[in-house]
């Protein structure tokens, strides 16, 4: 019996990062399913998600749930308002509260909430998410 899993889980890419040619560590072969990157293990997809958030924070100065989700999940494809509310609630912060995204205590719940929203579930142990964040 085959169990259905969301695309992000099947691809070991729980953030549903689009494949754009970036040579992420841990890419599978083939590296995409036609749109989204595929990784050999979930920890590499989590690592990539953490690295993208790092870029938002360090390069673009994005430090709020609203800022991260507006960039991560554009309103042309998502109900961004609902996404922001869900992630803010899971993180325990106002959507516009400045967050220190360098701290694992902030990054881990943020990433877990993104994974849950992207896949309708968050199937990974906190230890695995922490490992992916640390690898970033």
The pLDDT value recorded for residue 1 is 45
The pLDDT value recorded for residue 64 is 98
Is the N-terminal amide bond of 95 cis, ω within 30° of 0?
no
Phi, psi of 16 (to 5 degrees): 55, 50
* Per-residue pLDDT reduced to its tens digit, 85-106: 999 999 999 999 999 999 999 9
The pLDDT value recorded for residue 2 is 53
Question: Rounded to an integer, what distance in angstroms lies between the CA atom of residue 87 and that of residue 4?
Answer: 24
The pLDDT value recorded for residue 4 is 86
Question: Rounded to an integer, what distance in angstroms lies between the CA atom of residue 13 and that of residue 88?
Answer: 22
CA angle 33, 37, 43 (to 5 degrees): 125
Walk along the chain (136 residues) in steps of 10 and give the mean pLDDT of each run: 84 98 97 98 98 97 98 93 97 97 96 98 97 97
Q: Report domain extents, the chain.
A: 7-131
């Amino acid at each position: 019996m085959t169990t259905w899993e969301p695309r992000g889980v099947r691809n070991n890419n729980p953030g549903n990062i689009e494949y754009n040619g970036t040579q992420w560590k841990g890419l599978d072969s083939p590296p995409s399913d036609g749109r989204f990157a595929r990784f050999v293990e979930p920890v590499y997809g989590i690592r990539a998600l953490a690295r993208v958030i790092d870029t938002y924070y360090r390069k673009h100065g994005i430090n709020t749930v609203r800022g991260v989700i507006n960039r991560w999940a554009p309103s042309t494809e998502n109900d961004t308002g609902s996404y922001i509310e869900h992630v803010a609630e899971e993180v325990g912060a106002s959507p516009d509260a400045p967050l220190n995204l360098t701290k694992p205590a902030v990054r881990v719940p943020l990433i877990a909430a993104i994974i849950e929203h992207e896949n309708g579930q968050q199937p990974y142990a906190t230890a695995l998410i922490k490992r992916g964040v640390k690898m970033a």
